[in-house]
C-alpha cells in the first residue's frame, strides 16, 4: 500500500474527469507542515498546456474529487492542491496496517534478479574500498528479496589474474624451504607484499612467477593444488569479513572469474560467427561506433590479447552470457565503482550486439565513488597501503565498546560486547548507506561514531527506547490490541510517517539509492523521539494508552524492519 500512489491515482482521475488530457497529478509528500501531508504539483503544468488559469483548474479538480470525509483539500499558492489526511482516516488506515507482518509493503511478482557485488580480488585481503559495493549491494539484495524477487547473489571474485603467479611461486618456494605456507598465509596482505617484492627484485623468481601463470592456466595439477589452497585461505578471510559485517554472502555465492575459463574461447568464437571480431595489432577486438578513444580513434573492446590471453572483457562477457542464458535473469545489477563506467558500457553493448542480452533483459551499472579520508585524499595508510577492512571493523567495535562502557557501565560484559558489535558495525554501514551512492564518500570516525544525528546508533537508540517501554510493563508486542486514537499533533505526525514506509522502499528501488530509506528512518526516529518526549505512554489514560502502545509497537517494527533491510541489527537495550 502506497498512500502517495493512491492519492496520485485519485487526483489523476479527477483531473481527467475535469477535462485534462494525459493528466498527471504529480502528488508528493508535502514539503512543509503548513501545506498538509501531500501536495498536488501537476495542476500548474496542466493549466499551462490548456492555457487556463491554474487556480481555476485546481478548483475544477476539487469539484471532481467531491466530498471525501477522509481528506481535507485546499487550493493553495499558484495552483497547488494541499491534501491533509484526517485523524480518523489515519487511524483507520493504521488499524489495517497494524497486523501486517510486511508493514504495508506489497509483494511484487518475482523476477530473477542477479546482483553482482562485493567482488574482492582474492590475491589480497579485502580493504576499505570493498565496503561500498559490499554494503550497498547487500542492502539491495535484502530489499529485493523482501519485495518477493528471486535474487541471485553473484560474487564475481578475482582469482585468476597474473598476480597469482607470484603468490604461487612464493608458496612453492616456502614449501621447498620446508616451511608451511599455511601459517604465512594468515596475513594475506603481508604474504602478497612479500611475493610482490620478490617479483620486483629477484629476476629468477619473476621468471618462475610468470611460468606459474602459464602452468596454472594450462591446468598443471601441482599448480592447481597450490592455487586451490591459496584460494581457500583467501575465501576464509573474505567470509570472516562478511560474517563480521553481517553481509548475506556465503561461499555458495562465489562465482569466480576462473569459473568462466572454459567459456572464454566460446565467447570469442561466437563473436567471430556474428562477424563482430576484428584483428588489430594482433588482438581480437570488437569495434562499436559509439566508443571513441583518444583523438577520436575507434576504441576497441579487446576480447583476446595478442599473446592469446583473455582480458576481463572476455570474462565479463562470459558472465553476461551465463546470467542471461543459464540463470534466465530478468535484470542484472552491477554494484561496481564509477571507474568501470566505460568498461561496463562496452560489456553491455558488445553483449547486446552478440545477442547475449535480449530486449526484455535489463542490465544496469550502479556506480559509486571513492572512500576518502577527512582531508579528501584516498583512504590509505601512511605508506600508501590499502587499509584492511577487518581492521576497520575491529576498530569500530572497539570504539563502540568504550562508548557503551561510558554510557551504560552497569550492563553485563556480554551485553556490552554484543551492543558494541551491533552498534559499531551498524555505524560503519549506515554512514556508508546514508550518503549518495555516486559521489565520493568521506570516512570519518568522529562523525559516524559520535553516535549523534543521522547515524545508526540514533536509530538503534530510538528502537531501544520503545522496547524499554514494553519491557518495563512486561508487555509483548503481540499482546496489545485495540484502536488508534490520534489527537495530539505528535501522534498524527508519527502516524503519517508510519504509513509512508512503502513510499521509502519504492524510492530506494528506483535507483538503488539506499539513502532514501536512511532518510526515511531518520525522519521516523526523529518523529518518534518528539512523540516520546511529549506523549507519555504507560501513564496515559485510555484510550490513549492503548493507542500509543500501538504506535510504539508499529514504530519499533518499522525501525527494525527498515534497519534489517539495510543489513543493520538492533539490540533491546544500549
Contacting RNA within 423-442 (CB under 7 A): 423, 434-436, 438-442
Residue 522 cell numbers, joined: 531518520
Which stretch in 55-63, 108-116, 302-310, 475-483 sits in contact with RNA by CB under 7 A?
A: 302-310
Cα separation of 20 and 293, whole Å? Answer: 49
Which CB atom, from 174 or from 460, has the smaller least distance to RNA?
A: 460
Cα separation of 72 and 58, whole Å? Answer: 14
Which CB atom, from 461 or from 512, has the smaller least distance to RNA?
A: 461
Q: Does 573 bind RNA (CB under 7 A)?
A: yes
DSSP summary character for residue 106: P
In 3-state terms the chain splits into helix, strand, coil percentages (rounded to 5) of 55, 10, 30
Residue numbers 485-514 binding RNA by CB under 7 A = 503, 507, 513
Q: Does 86 bind RNA (CB under 7 A)?
A: no
Cα separation of 398 and 416, whole Å? Answer: 11
Between strands 441-442 and 371-372, the pairing is parallel
Q: Does 130 bind RNA (CB under 7 A)?
A: no
Residue numbers 336-365 binding RNA by CB under 7 A = 338-343
Which CB atom, from 35 or from 199, has the smaller least distance to RNA?
A: 35
Closest separation between CB of residue 378 and RNA, Å?
A: 8
Which stretch in 215-223, 242-250, 292-300, 355-363 sits in contact with RNA by CB under 7 A?
A: 292-300
Closest separation between CB of residue 36 and RNA, Å?
A: 7
Write the Ramachandran bin of 335: left for phi over 0, alpha for psi from -120 to 50, otherwise beta.
beta
**CA-to-CA separations, 323 to 133, 145, 187, 347, 512, in angstroms, rounded:** 19, 18, 34, 13, 20
Which stretch in 57-65, 142-150, 220-228, 299-307 sits in contact with RNA by CB under 7 A?
A: 299-307
Q: Number of residues interacting with RNA: please give it, by CB under 7 A.
A: 109
Which stretch in 26-34, 110-118, 261-269, 380-388 sits in contact with RNA by CB under 7 A?
A: 26-34
Q: Does 555 bind RNA (CB under 7 A)?
A: no
Which of 3, 7, 44, 245 binds RNA (CB under 7 A)? It is 44
Over its C-alpha atoms, the chain yields an Rg (Å, rounded) of 28
Residues in the chain: 574
Residue numbers 147-166 binding RNA by CB under 7 A = 158, 161-162
The residues facing 287 across adjacent strands are 300
Residue numbers 251-270 binding RNA by CB under 7 A = 257
Helix ranges (H only) for 73-220 are 87-97, 130-146, 163-176, 181-184, 188-201, 203-217
Cα separation of 76 and 39, whole Å? Answer: 9
Q: Does 451 bind RNA (CB under 7 A)?
A: yes
Q: Does 450 bind RNA (CB under 7 A)?
A: yes
491 contacts: CB under 8 Å, gap ≥ 6: 531, 535, 547, 548, 551
Cα separation of 287 and 277, whole Å? Answer: 8
Residue numbers 178-217 binding RNA by CB under 7 A = none
Closest separation between CB of residue 521 and RNA, Å?
A: 12
Which CB atom, from 112 or from 480, has the smaller least distance to RNA?
A: 480
Residue numbers 391-420 binding RNA by CB under 7 A = 400, 403-404, 407-408, 419
Which of 237, 388, 421, 465 binds RNA (CB under 7 A)? It is 465
Amino acid at each position: 500500500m502506497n498512500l502517495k500512489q493512491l492519492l496520485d491515482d485519485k487526483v489523476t482521475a479527477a483531473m481527467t474527469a475535469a477535462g485534462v488530457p494525459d493528466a498527471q497529478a504529480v502528488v508528493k509528500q508535502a514539503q512543509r507542515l503548513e501545506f498538509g501531508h501531500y501536495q498536488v504539483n501537476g495542476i500548474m503544468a496542466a493549466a499551462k498546456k490548456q492555457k487556463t488559469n491554474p487556480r481555476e483548474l485546481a478548483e475544477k479538480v476539487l469539484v471532481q474529487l467531491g466530498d471525501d470525509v477522509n481528506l481535507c483539500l485546499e487550493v493553495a499558492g499558484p495552483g497547488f492542491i494541499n491534501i491533509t489526511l484526517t485523524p480518523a482516516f489515519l487511524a483507520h488506515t493504521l488499524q489495517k496496517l497494524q497486523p501486517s507482518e510486511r508493514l504495508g509493503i506489497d509483494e511484487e511478482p518475482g523476477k530473477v534478479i542477479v546482483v553482482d557485488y562485493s567482488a574482492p580480488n582474492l590475491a589480497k585481503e579485502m580493504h576499505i574500498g570493498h565496503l561500498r559495493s559490499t554494503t550497498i549491494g547487500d542492502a539491495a539484495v535484502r530489499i529485493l528479496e523482501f519485495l518477493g524477487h528471486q535474487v541471485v547473489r553473484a560474487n564475481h571474485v578475482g582469482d585468476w589474474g597474473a598476480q597469482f603467479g607470484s603468490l604461487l611461486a612464493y608458496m612453492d618456494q616456502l614449501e621447498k624451504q620446508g616451511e608451511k605456507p599455511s601459517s604465512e598465509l594468515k596475513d594475506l596482505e603481508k604474504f602478497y607484499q612479500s611475493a610482490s617484492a620478490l617479483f620486483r627484485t629477484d629476476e629468477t623468481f619473476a621468471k618462475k612467477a610468470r611460468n606459474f601463470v602459464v602452468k596454472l592456466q594450462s591446468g598443471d595439477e601441482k599448480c592447481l593444488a597450490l592455487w586451490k589452497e591459496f584460494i581457500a585461505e583467501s575465501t576464509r578471510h573474505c567470509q570472516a569479513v562478511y560474517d563480521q559485517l553481517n553481509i548475506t554472502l556465503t561461499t555458495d555465492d562465489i562465482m569466480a572469474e576462473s569459473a568462466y575459463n572454459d567459456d572464454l574461447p566460446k565467447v570469442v568464437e561466437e563473436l567471430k560467427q556474428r562477424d563482430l571480431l576484428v584483428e588489430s595489432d594482433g588482438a581480437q577486438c570488437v569495434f562499436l561506433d559509439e566508443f571513441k578513444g583518444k583523438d577520436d580513434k575507434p576504441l576497441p573492446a579487446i576480447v583476446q590479447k595478442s599473446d592469446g590471453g583473455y582480458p576481463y572483457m572476455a570474462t565479463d562477457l562470459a558472465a553476461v552470457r551465463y546470467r542471461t542464458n543459464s540463470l534466465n535473469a530478468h535484470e542484472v545489477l552491477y554494484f561496481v565503482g564509477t571507474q568501470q563506467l566505460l568498461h561496463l558500457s562496452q560489456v553491455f553493448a558488445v553483449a547486446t550486439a552478440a545477442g547475449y542480452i535480449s530486449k526484455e533483459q535489463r542490465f544496469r551499472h550502479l556506480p559509486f565513488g571513492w572512500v576518502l579520508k577527512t582531508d579528501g585524499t584516498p583512504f590509505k595508510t601512511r605508506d600508501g597501503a590499502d587499509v584492511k577492512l577487518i581492521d576497520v571493523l575491529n576498530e569500530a567495535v572497539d570504539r563502540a565498546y568504550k562508548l557503551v562502557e561510558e554510557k551504560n557501565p552497569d550492563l553485563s560484559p556480554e551485553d556490552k560486547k554484543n551492543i558494541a558489535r551491533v552498534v559499531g558495525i551498524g555505524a560503519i554501514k549506515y554512514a556508508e548507506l546514508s550518503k549518495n551512492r555516486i559521489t565520493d564518500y568521506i570516512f570519518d570516525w568522529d562523525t559516524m561514531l559520535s553516535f549523534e544525528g543521522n547515524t545508526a546508533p540514533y536509530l538503534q537508540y530510538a528502537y531501544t527506547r520503545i522496547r524499554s517501554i514494553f519491557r518495563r510493563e512486561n508487555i509483548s508486542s503481540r499482546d496489545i490490541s485495540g484502536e488508534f486514537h490520534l489527537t495530539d499533533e505528535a501522534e498524527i505526525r508519527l502516524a503519517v510517517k508510519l504509513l509512508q514506509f512503502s513510499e521509502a522502499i519504492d524510492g530506494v528501488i528506483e535507483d538503488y539509492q539506499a539513502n532514501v530509506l536512511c532518510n526515511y528512518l531518520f525522519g521516523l526516529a526523529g518523529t518518534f523521539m518528539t512523540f516520546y518526549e511529549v506523549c507519555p505512554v504507560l501513564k496515559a489514560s485510555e484510550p490513549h494508552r492503548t493507542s500509543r502502545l500501538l504506535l510504539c509497537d508499529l514504530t519499533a517494527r518499522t525501525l527494525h524492519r527498515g534497519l534489517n533491510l539495510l543489513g543493520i541489527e538492533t539490540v533491546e537495550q544500549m
